[in-house]
C-alpha cells in the first residue's frame, strides 16, 4: 500500500446548520499574523463567542507547547487538536488521543532523507529534532529573514521554539514516537524525497499538502479527522461547526464541517475548498467572522465577499 497524496475532494461535507456550537481555528495565517502577534480584536471576538456558549478550539500543525501558549493568548477552550491531528488533548496534561507514526515508518523516512540530502525537522510530543545539529541556526536564520526578532512577541516565540529543539542524532523514533516530519531542504530535493516515499509500499504515511512544500504524518491523521473525533467525543454535530484556516492542512476540516471558512491569504486551491472567504489575516479577517457569529448574524445571505488574494 503506497503513501497517499492529498488533493482529492472528500465526501460531501455536512449541510450547514445553526446555531454554531463549535469553532475550530487554525493558528498561523488565521489568528496569528506574520509578525507572530494576535490582533486584540480577535481575542475579543473569541471571548464574545465563548460568552454565547460556543466552543472555540485551536486546530494546528504546531507542537503542544507552542499551541497551548497561543490558545491561552487568544482565550480558546482547553480542548486542542495539535500536530496536524496527531494529538487531541484536554489541557496540557491530559491526552485524549494519540496517533504517532509507526517507529519503522519514521526510521525509514529519516534514513531516506539523509540519503537524499534533505534536512528535516521532526516533531515528537515534547521536542523538535533538527538535522545535523543545525536546527537552532536554521530557526534563527529564518527568524532574521522574517524580521521575527524585531518584536517582543517574535522574541518570545523564538524562546518557545528554541527551548524545544534537540539534535536529530539524539532521536530514537521507537522510544520517542514521531508525529510529524517536515522536510526543509531545497525544493528539488524535497520533491525527490517525496517521489521516493510515494513509490514505496508498506509505509503508513500521509502528505499534508500537494507539491514540494509538504509535511508527513501517519496515514489517516489530519486536522479534519482529529477535529471530527473531538466533536464526536463532545457530542457536537459537525453541521453546527465552523472551521477557519488558510493552509492545505485545513481542507480536511473544511470537508468535515457545515461552515468552512478560508482566509483571503490562503492559496487559491484552499479557498476553493471553503464555502466562505474571510478577509486577510492582517485585517483581522477571522475576528470579523467570529463577531458575526457572536451577534447571531451568521451565516451571511450566501457568502462573505471574497477579497482579492
- Is residue 11 over pLDDT 90? no
For residue 307, the model assigns a pLDDT of 47
Distance of CA 30 to the CA centre of its chain: 10
| Nearest-10 Cα torsion for 300, 305, 306, 309 | -130
Q: What fold does the segment set 103-218 form as a domain? A: 3.30.1240
pLDDT value for 301? 65
What pLDDT is recorded for position 16? 77
22-98+222-294: CATH class? alpha beta
Looking only at the bridges linking them, the beta strands covering 79-82 and 87-90 are: antiparallel
- pTM metric for this prediction: 0.85
Distances (CA, A) of 168 to 35, 153, 171, 271: 28, 27, 5, 36
pLDDT at 116 exceeding the cut of 60: yes
- Which long-range CB contacts under 8 A does 193-196 form with residues at least 24 apart? 193/112, 193/113, 193/116, 193/118, 196/112, 196/116
pLDDT tens per residue across span 52-77? 999 999 999 998 888 998 999 999 99
- DSSP string over 201-253: BS--EEESSSSSS--EEETT--HHHHHHHHHHHHT--GGGEEEEE-SGGGHHH
If one counts every other C-beta atom within 10 angstroms of the C-beta of residue 294, the result is 20
Q: What is the pLDDT of residues 224-250, one digit of tens each?
A: 999 999 999 999 999 999 999 999 999
Distance, CA of 265 to CA of 29 (rounded, Å)? 7
Q: For residues 59 and 28, is the Cβ–Cβ distance under 8 A?
A: no
Report residue 193 as a C-alpha cell.
524525497
Question: Mind giving me the DSSP string for 120-177?
Answer: EEEEESS-EEEGGG-HHHHHHHHHHHHTGGGSHHHHHHHHHHHHHEEEGGG--TTTS-
When mean pLDDT is compared across 104-108, 143-147, 284-288, the lowest value belongs to: 143-147
Residue 151 has pLDDT above 70, yes or no: no
pLDDT score at 308: 44
Label residue 14 by pLDDT band (50, 70, 90).
confident
- Per-residue confidence (pLDDT) for residue 3, from 0 to 100: 37
Residue whose C-alpha is closest to residue 242's, from 46, 36, 8: 46
* Banded pLDDT at 1 (limits 50, 70, 90): very low
pLDDT-above-70 percentage for the chain: 82
Q: Name the band, by pLDDT with cuts 50, 70 and 90, for residue 172.
A: very high
Helix axes 152-164, 135-146, angle to 10 degrees: 170
Cβ–Cβ < 8 Å for 231, 240: no
What's the distance, CA 253 to chain centroid?
Answer: 10
Domain ranges of the chain: 22-98+222-294, 103-218
Given this model, what pLDDT does residue 280 score?
A: 96
Tell me whether the CATH fold assigned to 22-98+222-294 matches the one assigned to 103-218.
Answer: no
- Side by side, which strands form the sheet with 79-82? 94-98, 87-90, 79-82, 55-59, 22-25, 241-245, 259-263, 276-278
pLDDT at position 162: 54
Amino acid at each position: 500500500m503506497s503513501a497517499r497524496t492529498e488533493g482529492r475532494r472528500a465526501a460531501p461535507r455536512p449541510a450547514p446548520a445553526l446555531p454554531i456550537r463549535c469553532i475550530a481555528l487554525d493558528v498561523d495565517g488565521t489568528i496569528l499574523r506574520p509578525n507572530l502577534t494576535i490582533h486584540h480584536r480577535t481575542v475579543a471576538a473569541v471571548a464574545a463567542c465563548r460568552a454565547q456558549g460556543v466552543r472555540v478550539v485551536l486546530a494546528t500543525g504546531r507542537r503542544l507547547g507552542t499551541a497551548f501558549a497561543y490558545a491561552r493568548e487568544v482565550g480558546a477552550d482547553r480542548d486542542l487538536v495539535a500536530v496536524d491531528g496527531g494529538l487531541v488533548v484536554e489541557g496540557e496534561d491530559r491526552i485524549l488521543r494519540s496517533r504517532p507514526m509507526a517507529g519503522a515508518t519514521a526510521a525509514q523516512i529519516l534514513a531516506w532523507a539523509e540519503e537524499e540530502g534533505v534536512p528535516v525537522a521532526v516533531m515528537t510530543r515534547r521536542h523538535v529534532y533538527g538535522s545535523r545539529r543545525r536546527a537552532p541556526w536554521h530557526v534563527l536564520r529564518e527568524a532574521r529573514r522574517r524580521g521575527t526578532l524585531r518584536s517582543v512577541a517574535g522574541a518570545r516565540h523564538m524562546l518557545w521554539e528554541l527551548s524545544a529543539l534537540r539534535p536529530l542524532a539524539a532521536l530514537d523514533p521507537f522510544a520517542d514516537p514521531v508525529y510529524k516530519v517536515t522536510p526543509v531542504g531545497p525544493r528539488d530535493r524535497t520533491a525527490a524525497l517525496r517521489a521516493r516515499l510515494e513509490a514505496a509500499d508498506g509505509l503508513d504515511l500521509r502528505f499534508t499538502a500537494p507539491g514540494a512544500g509538504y509535511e508527513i504524518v501517519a496515514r489517516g491523521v489530519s486536522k479534519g479527522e482529529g477535529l471530527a473525533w473531538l466533536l464526536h467525543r463532545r457530542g457536537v454535530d459537525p453541521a453546527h461547526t465552523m472551521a477557519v484556516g488558510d493552509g492545505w492542512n485545513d481542507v480536511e476540516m473544511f470537508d468535515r464541517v457545515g461552515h468552512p471558512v478560508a482566509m483571503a491569504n490562503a492559496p487559491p486551491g484552499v479557498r476553493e475548498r471553503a464555502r466562505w472567504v474571510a478577509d486577510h489575516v492582517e485585517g483581522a479577517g477571522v475576528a470579523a467572522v467570529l463577531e458575526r457569529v457572536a451577534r447571531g448574524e451568521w451565516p451571511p445571505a450566501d457568502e462573505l465577499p471574497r477579497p482579492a488574494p
